[in-house]
Chain A
Amino acid sequence: MPSDYFIPDPEGHSPNVAGYFGAFGGKFIPEALVAAVDEVAAEYEKAKADPAFAAELDELLVDYTGRPSALTEVKRFAEHAGGARVFLKREDLNHTGSHKINNVLGQALLTKRMGKPRVIAETGAGQHGVATATACALFGLECTIYMGEIDTERQALNVARMRMLGAEVVPVTSGSRTLKDAINEAFRDWVANVDRTHYLFGTVAGPHPFPQIVRDFHRVIGVEARRQILQRTGRLPDAVAACVGGGSNAIGLFHAFLPDTDVRIVGFEAAGHGVDSGEHAATLTAGEPGILHGSRSYVLQDDEGQITEPYSISAGLDYPGIGPEHAYLKDSGRGEYRPVTDEAAMRALRLLSETEGIIPAIESAHALAGALDLGRELGPESLVLVNLSGRGDKDMDTAARYFGLYDGEDQK
C-alpha cells in the first residue's frame, strides 16, 4: 500500500549525484565523517525502497504525531490582510508543538535501522531538540542535544522539556553562542563518536544527503496542505508563505507547490533590527555564496570568508546559513525571499493571538507578518496559505518581556 505521508521527492527534484541543487549543496566534510555520511545516504536509499519503513512511519505520524494537521482559515486575522483569505497549516498542533517531529521520527527510524544506540542533535529554539528528545524516549535511544548558551536562556522552557524527556542538554559557549555554534559542537561530537552515534540533523542544510532527507520527511506538510486547500476552496492558493532559518518547514510546505507555477512561493527570513542595521539573520537577502556546515549555499560572511554573527529575536531563525535548495530556488527565480523585522513579527504574533486565539512561535510569526503584506499586495479575494510551523508556548517569556505582560510592568 502506498504511503499517505512519506512521499519522497518526485522526479526532477532530487539533487545530483554529488548532492547539488544547481550550484548549491555538496558535501564539504572532514574525511573522518565521510564513511558515516555515506552510510546515512545508503540507509536512506534502502529505507525509501522498503514498504515496511513507510508503513511504520505512517503509523507513527498518525497515531503519535496526530497527522494530518488541520488547515485553519483565520478570518479575523485576515481583516488586516487587505481582503485576502488566509489559511494556516497547523504544524503547531503536531505532538511536541512544531513541524520538527516529522523529520525526527523519520531519522529516528533510520537510526534504528543503522543499529546506532545514540543520537545527537543541535537546536536553536529548542523545537528540534524537544522533538529529538521525544523520539529518543520513544525508541529508547541515548540523546545529547547541543544548544547555544544564549538560546538555553531565551528558550528555558524547552531546555526543561528536553531534560524531562531524559536527554542531556549541553549549553554551547563558543562563538555567538547560538544555533551556528551548536551545530559546530554537534559536528565535533559526531567526529569523535561516529561509530555509535547518528547526528539527527534538524534542518535542510548540512552536507548531502541531509538537505534531501530532511526535505523528504517534511514534504508531507505541503502534500497535505495542497490537498486540504483544494478540498476547502476548490483552487490553489495565490501564494504559500513560510519562515526560513535553515528552511525545513518552508521547504516542507513549498515542495508540493513547485510544479504549480501560478502559486508564488515566498520565504520570510529574520531581519532582526533591520537588514541595514547589520543586526539580522537575512541570509538570502544580504548573504553571498559560501560554505558553512558542510554545504555551499548563501552565507552571512565578511570579505575573507569569516562567518558573521547573526541576530534575531527568534532563536530558530538566528542562523547565518540557509539550506542549499532554498538558495537554488532563489537563484532560479521560483522562490522569493523577503526580510521581516523583529518588530513586524512580534506585532503579527500579538495580532494572531488576539484575533484568533492562536499563539504562534516567534519563528512562525515572521511568516504571518509576511502574509499580511502579501495579502495587501495580492488584493481582495486572493488566497494565501501560511505554514504555522510551531506554537508559541516556548516564547512566552520573551513575548511577555517584549510587550510588558508581567505584573507590575507597563503594557506596550
Chain B
Amino acid sequence: MSSGNIALLEQTLARAKAENRAALVGYLPAGFPTVDGGIAACTALLESGCDVVEVGLPHSDPVMDGPVIQTADTIALQGGVRIADVIRTVREAHAATGKPVLIMTYWNPVDRYGAERFAEELAAAGGAGCILPDLPVEESDGWRKAAERAGLATVFVVAPSSRDARLARITEAGSGFVYAASLMGVTGTRESVGAEARELVSRVRAGADLPVCVGLGVSTPAQAAEVATFADGVIVGSAFVKRLLAAEDLQSGLADVRELATALAESVRR
C-alpha cells in the first residue's frame, strides 16, 4: 500500500501562510498540447512559482469548463491521452520538483476506472489528492474512503450559492484545502474577481480550519494580489492554458507560462 502526499500539500499551504503570502495553485490539463509537452508545462509552473499544480484529466463532456479548457481537453483527447498518461504527468511533475500535485477531473472517468485503483495509482505516483467538482458530498463516501486509505486529499468545491449548513457538511468531509469558486459560472478568465469570493471565504472560515483557495476567473497578477488579501491560495488555470494555446510552439509556450507564473507568484505576497 503506497501513501500519497496529502501531508506535503498541507505543509506547503502552511508554509505559504507562515511566509505571509497566499499559495499559488496552477492548473493545466494532461496531454495538452501533447503528453510530454503537458509534463514539461506542469513542471514549468512548479519551477516558476506555483506551490501546487492541479493536473486536469481531460473529459469528453466538461460541463464545468469554459471554451478555453474545453479546447485544451479536446486537443488532449484527440491526441489519445489515457489515464496512465495523466498519472505519469503527476509522477514526473512531482519527481522533478518535489512539490504537491493533484488531479482535477469529472467523476465518471474515476468511477469507471475504479475509485480504489485510481487512488492507489495516483498515490503511487506521488500525487497529493483529487478534485472532483461534479461529485457532491452526498455521493462521495466510496471515493473518500479510497482516498483516505491511499493518503490523498479530497478537495471539494464550494460556491457562492452554497448555504452555510452545506458548507459545514462539505468542509467536514473534505481535506487538503477547500476550493472556493469565486463566482457562479464555468472556468475561464474574467475582467474582475467578484465581491462574492471574499464573502464566501469568510463564510467557509467561520466553520472550518481548512485552508481556502479561490479559483474561477482569476488570471492576472492584479487579480491574484487582490484574492491573496483574503484567501489562503489563488488558483489560476485558463490563463495558463490560453498562453499555451496562443503560442507558436511548445518552447515559446513554456516561456510564456513561466513568465506568468513568476509574475503571479510575486503578486501573491502580501
Chains A and B belong together in one complex:
yes
Check: A400 CB closer than 8 A to any chain B CB.
no
Interface residues on A, range: 35 or more
Are A303 and B112 in contact, CB atoms less than 8 angstroms apart? yes
Segment at the interface with B among A31-39, A62-70, A238-246, A257-265: A31-39
Cβ-neighbour of A192 out of B82, B135, B162, B185 (below 8 A): B185
Residues of A within 8 A of B138 (CB): 18, 27
Chain B residues within 8 Å of A194, by CB: 161, 184
CB pair A32–B139 under 8 Å, yes or no, is no
Give the complex CA separation of A304 and B186 in angstroms.
24
A6-37 with Cβ < 8 A to chain B: 18, 26-36
Known interface pairs A191-B64, A194-B184. Does A34 touch B136 (Cβ–Cβ under 8 Å)? yes
A-chain residues with CB within 8 Å of residue B162 when the two chains form the complex: 31, 34-35
Within B128-170, the residues touching A (CB, 8 Å) are: 133-136, 138-139, 156-163, 166, 170
Residues of A within 8 A of B110 (CB): 305
Is the Cβ of B61 less than 8 Å from the Cβ of A31? no
Beyond A28-B139, A34-B136, whether A306 also contacts B161 by CB under 8 A is no
Contacts of A32 in B (CB 8 A): 159-161, 181, 184-185
**Interface residues contributed by chain B, number (CB under 8 Å):** 40
Given A290-B108, A304-B113, A305-B110, CB of A28 within 8 Å of CB of B61: no
- Bound together, the chains give a CA A290 to CA B63 distance in angstroms of 16
Q: Which of A28, A175, A291 contacts B60 (CB 8 A)?
A: A175
CB contacts (< 8 Å) of B230 on chain A: these are none
> Known contacts A291-B108, A305-B113; is A31 also within 8 Å of B136 by CB?
yes
Complex Cα distance, B136 from A29, in Å, reads: 7
Contact A306 to B109, CB < 8 A, known contacts A192-B186, A292-B61? yes
Interface 1/0 per residue, B169-188 and A, CB below 8 Å: 01000000000010011100
Contacting residues, chain A, for B112 (C-beta < 8 A): 290, 301, 303-305
A161 in the interface (beta carbon within 8 A): no
Across-interface contacts of B157 in A (CB, < 8 A): 30-31
B contact residues around A290 at 8 Å (CB): 108, 111-112
A247 to B45, CA, bound (A): 46
Question: Bound state CA distance, A293 and B108, in angstroms?
Answer: 10
Measured CB to CB, the closest approach of chain A to B191, in angstroms, equals 14
Contact across chains for A306 and B186 when beta carbons are under 8 A apart = no
User: What's the Cα separation between A116 and B193 when bound, in Å?
Assistant: 26
B residues engaging A (CB < 8 A)?
Answer: 59-64, 66-67, 70, 74, 77, 82-83, 107-113, 133-136, 138-139, 156-163, 166, 170, 181, 184-186
Where the two chains meet, the residues of A that have a C-beta atom closer than 8 Å to any C-beta of B are 18, 26-36, 174-175, 180, 184, 187-188, 191-195, 290-294, 299, 301, 303-308
If A32-B181, A35-B161, A308-B60 are given as contacts, then 4 extra A-B residue pairs at C-beta distance below 8 Å, sorted by A number, are A188-B66, A191-B64, A305-B113, A306-B77
Q: In the A-B complex, list the 6 residue pairs whose CB atoms are closest, starting with the nearest.
A: A305-B112, A305-B109, A32-B159, A192-B185, A305-B108, A306-B60
14 A-B Cβ contacts within 8 A? A31-B156, A31-B158, A31-B162, A32-B160, A32-B161, A33-B161, A34-B136, A175-B60, A184-B63, A188-B186, A191-B64, A194-B161, A290-B111, A304-B82
